[in-house]
Amino acid sequence: MKKTDASDEGESMNRRLHEQIQFLMEIDKLKHVFRRTKLLNGSRYENDAEHAWHLAMMAIVLHEYSNEPVELSKVVKMVLIHDLVEIDAGDAFLYDENNAISKAEAETKAAMRVFGLLPEDQRREFIDLWKEFERKETPEARFATALDRLEPLIQNAHTEGHAWIKYGITKDQVINKIGHPSLEVRKNSGSMPRS
C-alpha cells in the first residue's frame, strides 16, 4: 500500500512538472508577439516578453508612487501574465476601439487555453489574476494598468511619437487612454501627437 501511495505521489509530481514545463515552453511564444511601440533607441519594435519584463521592473522601482497601497508581488505577477493571452489573440492596440468586443472574446478564449496548460491551482491563480487586471477594480490592478499605460508613453516620447504618428493617434486620444488630463508635454518636443 505504501509503495502505491508513493508511486501515485511521484506520478502526480511528474504530471505537475510536465504541465508546468509545457506552459513555460508555450509562453516562449510571447517573444514573437511584437507590439506597435519601438524600443527607446528606435532600432526595432518591442516584443510582448520585453514589455512584460519592463513592466515588472517598473513595478519594483516605482511602486512607492501608487495612489493606493499595493501588494508588490501581486502587481509583478499581474504585469508578467497580463499579455500572455496575446500568444493566441495577438497584440491588442490600445487605441483600436472598433475591435474591443472581439478582442475581449479572443483574449478570454486564449486565457483559458494558455493558462489551461498549468496544474489546476496555478491555472485558477493565473486566470484570477488576469481577470483582476482586466477589471481594474483593485489597487494592484489599477497600478499595473497605470504602468501598462506609462511604458508606451515613455517609448513614444523617446521615439518622437513613432506609433502615435504611424497610426494617426491624437493628443486627446492619448490623454483619454492615460486617464490623466493634466498630462504635461514639453513644448516643441515633437513627442506628443497633435490634437
Predicted local distance difference test score (pLDDT) of residue 7: 74
**12 domain-assigned:** yes
**191 domain-assigned:** no
Averaged pLDDT for residues 8-23: 91
**14 domain-assigned:** yes
Predicted local distance difference test score (pLDDT) of residue 3: 56
Domain count, the chain: 1
Averaged pLDDT for residues 18-26: 98
Sign for the pseudo-dihedral over CA of 50, 52, 57, 62: positive
pLDDT digits (tens, 9 = 90+) for 108-160: 999 999 999 999 999 999 999 999 999 999 999 999 999 999 999 999 999 99
SS3 178: helix
Averaged pLDDT for residues 23-40: 97
Is the distance from CB of 62 to CB of 123 less than 8 angstroms?
A: no
CATH at residue 29: 1.10.3210.10
Query: Is 183 a residue whose pLDDT tops 70?
Result: no
**185 domain-assigned:** no
Query: Is 87 a residue whose pLDDT tops 90?
Result: yes
pLDDT digits (tens, 9 = 90+) for 53-75: 999 999 999 999 999 999 999 99
**19 domain-assigned:** yes
Predicted local distance difference test score (pLDDT) of residue 177: 76
- pLDDT confidence band for 186 (50 / 70 / 90): very low
**156 domain-assigned:** yes
Averaged pLDDT for residues 87-112: 86
Which residues are CB-contacts of 177 (< 8 A; sequence separation ≥ 6)?
94, 95, 149
**10 domain-assigned:** yes
Listed residue (125, 122, 144, 124) closest to 134, CA to CA: 144
Q: Which domain holds residue 69?
A: 2-178
Averaged pLDDT for residues 30-40: 96
Residue 188 has, within 13 A of its CA and on its CB side, a CA count of: 0
**37 domain-assigned:** yes
- pLDDT confidence band for 11 (50 / 70 / 90): confident
